[in-house]
A and B are shown apart, each in its own frame.
Chain A
């Protein structure tokens, strides 16, 4: 009796998580995979099996899906090429022992991250407004730059969203990098300096390689976060992505098809395509980072 109880007890203790996981995650995941092979339109219509038609239509006939994919990739590239390096730079500055009020600045750079996406969207809507907005009036006008139609001209929408992303995500990524920097033993840098390495050489050959695990983590999070981007552009330019759907991301596209046009089967297919894209990109990215490895 005692022996059996001992065998079961640990499983009972960890079961709440798995029960919750099965009900709220595993079941919807399987159900939506099944649904992605069905056509279901409207509130009460029964789903009808159509094989891979949804996927075929997505890739061959749906320009808006391709557009959403392109837009999201645009943001992901901006996120990786602008936000991540910026975060690293910020981390190096904040890590400097000569900086005063370091804790204060860390706190300051972290606060955007805990602000709700919807609030950020609303505020940045005012910031980017072309006639009355802050950027045009306070930053660009003094420089003699004409009003930029941030949210009205298709080509400016994604740059605006990336700027918003930089404001929101640079701080938290900088904190990840700072943790990595703190874990690098100072002796290694000292040794390099004794050997005559310049500051840049120390950074490039010592600091950066040792930050690789953190870099891999930050990049993976950035890619997943980019492909899941929703609230900020949805509030900034509306769920249809504003002019020419320039701000429509994959998740916005999924949401509007599924919950606005009630095409649940089609939306499930979009969801699975998104999952596959994120998986493939993350794997490629991890391979790339490992490929740079010298040891």
Chain B
């Protein structure tokens, strides 16, 4: 009887061992908040497993934008409980990790970038977003050049070619003519971040290079005032929220959009039925010869410091994010223009894009990309964005003036900076 028991135990032991043994494979976890990035990461992980480490596998988890950053902050604060190995962190939320001036909980990437010779291959202004006191914690996914997306059938049908607009005045003149014919369409959709990205086109921002808040500067107030005059003229209007935004694109209400490179991928994902109707042009300038683009958004891939697979994670990021192949595939899959300079010359970036009426989007991004302005990181950017999001409706409805609101926001942020210093 006893022998039988021992035998049985042995048998179970052998079975358990044989079941567990092959799990020498490395599974890493990655968090992303947009499906375009998630798709690309999954493909890159397969490529990495094929070419570099057959034991490698990557569990890509998609989490909603707000949740991802909130959960990541809490995980890191609790010493890495439930944290992934790799995480996408959006530049607007990256500052939250720097709050209080401490260690953000990510692996410092300086060694990887410097020793691999990658630092000079990355656009410095983009990397600055993920850098704090000389330490780099993220690798940017996109240069995020901003262009004017437009419904070619509508604009060209009305006799205008947005490719020929030089200044915003040209745009406004054409928009007025279109709206006179058809008052239901919106040539310039206004969203809460539009004023700051147009401000960047002018070389300014809501924070300056020293981290001081500048949302209450004269240029910033003037920008919002100008958007309100366009709204009063009937050529600009607020975008609907959430899914209604795509409904408004699909039913033809919104006929253009000021958006970064990633907006191209958003169009394809959310409004596939509009394929072949869109094109993109350089942003009209604020004056003759002025800058024809801006930057908007951006996301850095980070390695979480508590990961048990830091080396493998770094190796995977180098393979995917710091290679021509990875960057080219990302553009092909998501229209994110590479912030990785060696990839920019690859001819595969210039394929005709069926969604955008056969246009060579790469040529456009390559054309305006070198002009892309810098953007300054601040630990308070996320909070400033929150304050502005809450006040935006009052400003767009004309209940409160931009000057009043921007001054109030700036004062609040300055008070917070003082409280925490």
Instruction: Give the docked Cα–Cα distance between A241 and B390 (Å).
Output: 7
Contact with A along B379-412 (1 / 0, CB 8 A): 0001100100111111001000000000000000
Is the C-beta of A239 less than 8 angstroms from some C-beta in chain B? yes
* A129 B242 Cβ-Cβ under 8 A: yes
Q: Please give, as numbers and ranges, the residues of chain A lying within 8 Å of B66 by CB-CB distance.
A: 238-239
Is the C-beta of B76 less than 8 angstroms from some C-beta in chain A? yes
Is the C-beta of B97 less than 8 angstroms from some C-beta in chain A? yes
* A43 B390 Cβ-Cβ under 8 A: no
**Closest beta carbon of chain B to A138's beta carbon, Å:** 16
Instruction: Give the docked Cα–Cα distance between A238 and B391 (Å).
Output: 13
Residues 147-172 of A contacting B (Cβ, < 8 Å):
151-154
* A154 B77 Cβ-Cβ under 8 A: no
* A42 B100 Cβ-Cβ under 8 A: yes
Q: Please give, as numbers and ranges, the residues of chain A lying within 8 Å of B252 by CB-CB distance.
A: none
Known interface pairs A131-B240, A260-B73. Does A244 touch B391 (Cβ–Cβ under 8 Å)?
A: yes
Chain B at the A interface: SS class: helix
* A242 B390 Cβ-Cβ under 8 A: yes
* B77 A244 Cβ-Cβ under 8 A: no
**Closest beta carbon of chain A to B87's beta carbon, Å:** 14
Size of B's binding interface in residues, CB under 8 A: 37
Known interface pairs A125-B242, A259-B74. Does A41 touch B420 (Cβ–Cβ under 8 Å)?
A: yes
* A45 B102 Cβ-Cβ under 8 A: yes
Is the C-beta of A203 less than 8 angstroms from some C-beta in chain B? no
Residues 235-294 of A contacting B (Cβ, < 8 Å):
238-245, 248, 255-256, 259-262
Instruction: Give the docked Cα–Cα distance between A45 and B105 (Å).
Output: 12
Size of A's binding interface in residues, CB under 8 A: 32
Residues 214-244 of A contacting B (Cβ, < 8 Å):
238-244
* A43 B394 Cβ-Cβ under 8 A: no
* A152 B390 Cβ-Cβ under 8 A: no
* B74 A129 Cβ-Cβ under 8 A: no
Is the C-beta of A44 less than 8 angstroms from some C-beta in chain B? yes
Instruction: Give the docked Cα–Cα distance between A131 and B240 (Å).
Output: 8
* B243 A126 Cβ-Cβ under 8 A: yes
Q: Please give, as numbers and ranges, the residues of chain A lying within 8 Å of B389 by CB-CB distance.
A: 238, 240
**Pairs A–B under 8 Å by Cβ, sample size 14:** A42-B100, A43-B102, A43-B105, A45-B100, A45-B101, A57-B419, A131-B244, A152-B241, A152-B393, A244-B394, A260-B70, A260-B96, A260-B382, A262-B100
Chain A positions within 8 Å of B, measured between CB atoms, are 41-45, 57, 125-126, 129-133, 151-154, 238-245, 248, 255-256, 259-262
Which 8 pairs across A and B sit closest by C-beta, in order of nearness? A42-B100, A243-B393, A44-B102, A41-B100, A45-B100, A42-B99, A245-B390, A42-B102
